[in-house]
Amino acid sequence: MLNIVIFGPPGSGKGTQSENLIKTYNLEHISTGDLLRKEISTNTQLGALAKGHMDKGELVPDDVIIGMIDSFLDKMKNANGVIFDGFPRTVAQAEALQELLKTYKTDVNVTLNLNVPDEELITRLIERGKTSGRSDDNLETIKTRLQTYNNQTKPVLDFYKKQGVAVDIKGVGTIDAIFADIKKAVDAVK
Ligand code: ADP
């Protein structure tokens, strides 16, 4: 299996580049943000719990997220590989993912770290807010999301650096130019 973590702050282009990866490598895709938004739009109990955290720019509790990943992986036994988008967002999630993947005798092959300066992120997220209909795309929440990223999510990068699977990708430029760098990094581990 080819397992890719697409990593970076909110607004760094994880969703966009995931689409390119899916098309190029025929992989399954899991976006925890999308799954949570689906729970919200179908008014589930999990959705109600998640919305409270998401609207504040905070993370949804690890046990909820890990449970979602566990049931997703269960359905992926025969997949070519998986793109993890927006997950793991804490070191506890990264450790849980490693344990779950062990049961399938596989691991994360590469973590693509999209680098984008904060100012550019804020501009992109505010732009996205105009059309996304996402209640967390407003300036106040965006600022908290960036703080949450720096405090809780950035340490995940060190976890993958220690394992030698993290690759830095310049996340500014055209979508195609960024994907060309991503493709090089993925082809190197394929
Ligand atoms: P973005 O596109 O801004 O990076 P996402 O769509 O990935 O955001 O996630 C939106 C929100 O959903 C996050 O701010 C967080 O509250 C929640 N969320 C998504 N994935 C996770 C996760 N792996 N762990 C905890 N919370 C998560």
How many residues does the structure list for the chain? 190
Q: Is 124 a catalytic residue?
A: no
Cβ-based burial of 95 (10 A; exposed 0-12, middle 13-18, buried ≥19): middle
Q: How far is the CA of 97 from the centre of ligand 1 (A)?
A: 16
Ligand 1 atom nearest to CA at 32: 20
Asked if 82 and 28 touch (Cβ cutoff 8 Å), the reply is: yes
Q: Running along the chain, 190 residues long, what does each successive block of 10 average in pLDDT?
A: 97 98 96 97 98 98 98 93 98 98 96 98 97 94 98 98 98 98 97
Does ligand 1 come within 6 angstroms of the Cβ of 37?
no
Q: What is the pLDDT of residue 77?
A: 87
Q: Which long-range contacts (CB under 8 A, 24 or more apart) does 118-122 make?
A: 118/9, 118/146, 120/11, 120/172, 121/9, 121/10, 121/11, 121/12, 121/146, 122/11, 122/146
Q: Exactly one of 51, 56, 124, 134 is catalytic; which is it?
A: 134
Are 188 and 132 spatial neighbours (Cβ–Cβ below 8 Å)? no
Kindly state the tokens that stand for 15.
Answer: 């969703």
**Spatial distance between the Cα atoms of 26 and 20, rounded to a whole number of angstroms:** 10
pTM over 0.75: yes
Ligand 1 mean position to 33 CA, how many Å? Answer: 5
Number of the ligand 1 atom closest to the C-alpha atom of 148: 14
Cα of 118 to ligand 1 centre, how many Å?
Answer: 17
Write down the pLDDT at residue 48. Answer: 98
89 is catalytic: yes
Question: Kindly report the CA angle at 94 between 89 and 95, in degrees rounded to 5?
Answer: 145
Atom 6, ligand 1: residue with shortest CA distance: 33
CA of 95 to the centre of ligand 1 (A): 18
**58 CA to middle of ligand 1, Å?**
8
Q: Is the CB of 18 under 6 A from ligand 1?
A: no
3-state class of 4 per DSSP?
strand
pLDDT at 45: 97
Kindly give the pairing relationship between strand 110-115 and strand 81-85. Answer: unpaired
Query: Which of these, 136, 140, 185, lies nearest to 165 by C-alpha position?
Result: 185
Cβ of 89 less than 6 Å from ligand 1: yes
The yes-or-no answer on residue 143 being catalytic is no
